[in-house]
Chain A
């Protein structure tokens, strides 16, 4: 009896210890980011920095919008992210439906091909894309970036939706066909409503990717008017003396839209992403 009680306490202690380690590990960069964002320039560089700023400067959060074209960066990122996710979801759900419901010649090759594209290093594509975009006059434009991002997100989207659509029981479609529904009709009336979690997951993931993407945005935009948020924030750090307080503040603000999206639809995300992974 006493043995198991001691064991129980030990278990609880290790649990709490583990919990604290996890939380600390994840939080300390965020905490430092928040702390820095509220400091003045002189306080950042002080000899003994403190966690709690001496005089919290909330003005930093206003300054970043006034001193830098952050608003423009946000607008660009938003336009690109939303358009990309819509295009990607439309194409990917069509393809995923085709893959999940039919068996046809080249199906296996098609799926493997899609998986292979994920292995491509971006570095392999930046030079050809750059030249092609310039020649097509799509360099430094919204469509140029949207096209690139859609292709980037397409393979993964197809994969998620394929895994998800496969789990939709085929009986529903069969009864729809018996009721005289066309294939496209099935797609619209049956798959879309039932596949909503998977589709939501795809939309969130596409938005996340487009919002955070850096290398293509860096290479395919030239003027500051077309910078996306990541490129914009990186440009804060291109100055001689990096204004870390502004950089951290901008970083925090850039996380907020994603955080909101993520919090609202988190359960759809996990459900949609792991549906295909677990073999029921």
Chain B
């Protein structure tokens, strides 16, 4: 009788399932897929401020690929994404390892270490922009410590602005990685560590031969998620540098925003957006192929 009920569950399955997921899928289709195709449609047109448009074929794409600013945006985006991801992973892993030990107040510390995550990008950006101000904390502290001898205009210096933003973003973004890695660290079986200690393994050996293999999968997932997020980052860059100085930190998302809402070139912006999406898609596919698991 029990199995009859289970069979009944299974046969009616397909149709009821669709009822449950239909609203969500419908919403997502209308509101993700449709705009994406609309964006592609717009990228082939020249669109005016009043939304009137005419078809111009590949002109937007040709212009984008010839525009040195677009190439610079691509380069900046790559540099930013890879550096920020590397730092996030490093810091996140370090702090996760630290929090993985058992000590009193560990839960409180975990909450404290998560705090940059709940602050908004705008607020975080504003703090760091203020700290990087020529009269701000950074200069004062570094001069006080004797590291530098003069006031540096961090955000106005082309080769300093990008590292500055990356540091700021590391402070803001590491909790995301930290929490994923902490969860995966907790899944490593304790017995293996105990056996290793019996065999006389050092801390480093324990890390290398037990910890690393077990967290490898989640580490790669965290890296992928970080890359995806960092590639499209907008707000922090907008608040801290707004692409400056002289486009040194102008990433793709910023550039697309600028072309749309400051230069009112909707079609051109749409084309750059399509290019950006294709590149990120390619990156994702490349990543999964290389680390296929």
Give me the interface of A with B, judged by CB distance under 8 Å. 15, 18-19, 22-23, 25-26, 29-30, 32-33, 36, 45, 47-49, 91-92, 94-95, 97-99, 101-105, 107, 110, 113-114, 117-132, 134-135, 147-148, 150-151, 154-155, 158, 174, 177-178, 183, 208, 211-212, 214-215, 219, 229-231, 233-234, 236-237, 242, 244, 247-248, 251, 254-255, 258-259, 262-263, 266, 270, 273-274, 277-279
Please tell me the size bucket of the interface on B: 35 or more
Instruction: List chain A residues, Cβ under 8 A from B35.
Output: 124-125, 128-129, 132
**A212/B121 in contact, CB under 8 A:** yes
A232's closest neighbor in chain B, by CB? B122
Instruction: List chain B residues, Cβ under 8 A from A124.
Output: 35-36, 39, 273-274, 276-277
Bound-complex Cα distance A155 to B137 (A): 40
**A120/B32 in contact, CB under 8 A:** yes
**B231/A255 in contact, CB under 8 A:** no
Interface string of B1-40 (1 = CB under 8 A from A): 0000110010001101111110111011001101110110
**A248/B234 in contact, CB under 8 A:** no
**B20/A125 in contact, CB under 8 A:** no
A98/B17 contact (C-beta < 8 A), A117-B32, A119-B284 known = yes
| B157 proximal to A (CB < 8 A) | no
| B164 proximal to A (CB < 8 A) | no
| B212 proximal to A (CB < 8 A) | no
From A47, A114, A132, A266, give the contact of B28 (CB < 8 A): A114
Q: B135 CB to closest chain A CB, in angstroms? A: 6
Instruction: List chain A residues, Cβ under 8 A from B51.
Output: 131, 134-135
Bound-complex Cα distance A125 to B274 (A): 10
- 7 example contacts (A-B, Cβ-Cβ < 8 A) are as follows A26-B116, A123-B232, A125-B32, A132-B38, A151-B28, A174-B5, A212-B120
A110/B235 contact (C-beta < 8 A), A121-B277, A151-B32 known = no
**B21/A121 in contact, CB under 8 A:** no
From B98, B133, B273, give the contact of A123 (CB < 8 A): B273
**B115/A30 in contact, CB under 8 A:** yes
Q: A261 CB to closest chain B CB, in angstroms? A: 9
A242's closest neighbor in chain B, by CB? B130
Instruction: List chain B residues, Cβ under 8 A from A134.
Output: 51
Bound-complex Cα distance A29 to B126 (A): 10
**B118/A208 in contact, CB under 8 A:** yes
5 nearest interchain CB pairs?
A98-B20, A212-B120, A102-B17, A95-B24, A121-B232
Instruction: List chain B residues, Cβ under 8 A from A177.
Output: 5, 9
Bound-complex Cα distance A102 to B17 (A): 6
A18/B98 contact (C-beta < 8 A), A26-B115, A99-B21, A266-B111 known = yes
Interface string of B53-95 (1 = CB under 8 A from A): 0000000000000000000000000000000000000000001
**B36/A104 in contact, CB under 8 A:** no
Give me the interface of B with A, judged by CB distance under 8 Å. 5-6, 9, 13-14, 16-21, 23-25, 27-28, 31-32, 34-36, 38-39, 42, 51, 95, 98, 101, 103, 109, 111-113, 115-116, 118-124, 126-131, 133, 135-137, 140, 171, 179-180, 183-184, 186-187, 218, 228, 231-232, 234-235, 238-239, 252-253, 256-257, 260-261, 266, 269-270, 273-274, 276-277, 280-281, 284
**A128/B31 in contact, CB under 8 A:** no
**B23/A215 in contact, CB under 8 A:** no
B112's closest neighbor in chain A, by CB? A26
A117/B28 contact (C-beta < 8 A), A95-B23, A212-B121 known = yes
**B28/A155 in contact, CB under 8 A:** yes
> Known contacts A95-B21, A126-B260, A174-B5; can you find 11 more A-B pairs with CB under 8 A?
A22-B95, A36-B130, A49-B136, A91-B24, A121-B277, A123-B269, A177-B5, A214-B234, A230-B120, A230-B235, A236-B126
**A98/B187 in contact, CB under 8 A:** no
**A237/B23 in contact, CB under 8 A:** no
Bound-complex Cα distance A244 to B123 (A): 11
Q: B87 CB to closest chain A CB, in angstroms? A: 12
**A234/B122 in contact, CB under 8 A:** yes
**A274/B183 in contact, CB under 8 A:** yes
Q: A215 CB to closest chain B CB, in angstroms? A: 5
B138's closest neighbor in chain A, by CB? A32
From A48, A95, A135, A274, give the contact of B140 (CB < 8 A): A48
Bound-complex Cα distance A62 to B180 (A): 40
From B113, B120, B261, give the contact of A214 (CB < 8 A): B120
**A122/B28 in contact, CB under 8 A:** no
Instruction: List chain A residues, Cβ under 8 A from B98.
Output: 18-19, 22
**A248/B130 in contact, CB under 8 A:** yes
Instruction: List chain A residues, Cβ under 8 A from B126.
Output: 233-234, 236-237, 247-248, 251
From B31, B32, B118, give the contact of A147 (CB < 8 A): B31
